[in-house]
Amino acid sequence: ELKSLLVSQGRSFIFTTGVPEACARAALKALSLANDERRERLFDRIKRFREGLLNQGIPALGKHHIVPIVLGSRTMSVAGQLREAGFLVPGIRPPTVAEGQERLRVTLSAAHSEEQIDRLLDQLGRIL
């Protein structure tokens, strides 16, 4: 019974391979860069973007740095227009999400400037 339980519930421990050294080193470097100042800057960027969407009447899901904007069938068209304007905002479509729930996936980071966020908000407002 224990063996059966481990095989069915512990696959990530049984069927894994070691992380490549380059990935491990990149993860360690990323952890060394994480600090309170960057975390606060990210929170500020999230707040700025989400409030900007709200001010334009653009509803978004979630509360964190990944901001899904559900647009349904318009998603890929809007993603293309944003790409042409210089923004990498992928469209997520079925089967990843349910039909009719297609969405833009905006991912914010502490490295984004306030100007970049404002330009994206401006472009979204124009398109939508």
Residue 56: which residues within 8 A CB-CB, separation 6 or more?
121, 124, 125, 128
Predicted TM-score (pTM) of this structure: 0.78
- Check pLDDT > 80 for residue 10: no
Contact 60, 67 (CB under 8 A): yes
**Average pLDDT across the chain, whole number:** 93
- Check pLDDT > 80 for residue 18: no
Contact 78, 49 (CB under 8 A): no
What pLDDT was estimated at residue 16? 66
Is the sign of the CA dihedral 57, 61, 67, 68 positive or negative? negative
